[in-house]
Amino acid sequence: MNTNTTTTTNEKQAIIDALWAWIRQRPGLEFGNYGDWKAYRQELREIARDKHDAETVLRAVAWRDSIDAETLKAAFSANYGRLEWNGTRLSYTTGQYWPTEYRKAAAAVLARALWYNVRNNFDGEMNPGAALRAYFRREFGRGIASRWFN
């Protein structure tokens, strides 16, 4: 393995590690921002679903050797570039409400990296977008596929 490949592998692992920590941080919901327990619990369920989605897609990115640091860095343009990698750490620009956004931002970046990576295998397809969506539906199921690969 040459030095450039090792550096790229190390940077990919650094990004993966940072995203794991990012996804696993607590959302910091404040009950005072909600009118009742029902609304609060609904928000908690959606945030938990976002965590599951992001972790599932992160695992798929992490095990693919064909996804390198450059592909991951290019994918940070997802979600309007709110989640950024500066070479050593992640930063995020909040849109409206941090607790409901930060995991979605990670999932969007990871989904874009997967899309970029898998898209190369569908170059000869008549409708590569439909083929990609079907591929991700088979890999992740209808829920994750419809939320992140549609």
pLDDT category at 6 given cuts 50, 70, 90 is low
- pTM of the model as a whole: 0.91
- Looking at the DSSP bridge assignments, the partners of residue 84 are 91
pLDDT tens, 121-141?
Answer: 777 777 888 999 999 999 999
Return d(Cα 116, Cα 113) in angstroms, integer.
5
Query: For strand 90-92 and strand 83-85, is the pairing parallel, antiparallel, or unpaired?
Result: antiparallel
Counting beta carbons within 10 angstroms of the beta carbon of residue 141, is it exposed (0 to 12), middle (13 to 18) or buried (19 or more)? exposed
pLDDT tens, 28-62?
Answer: 998 998 989 999 999 999 999 999 999 999 999 99
- Contact yes or no for 23/55 (Cβ under 8 A): yes
pLDDT at 7 over 70: no
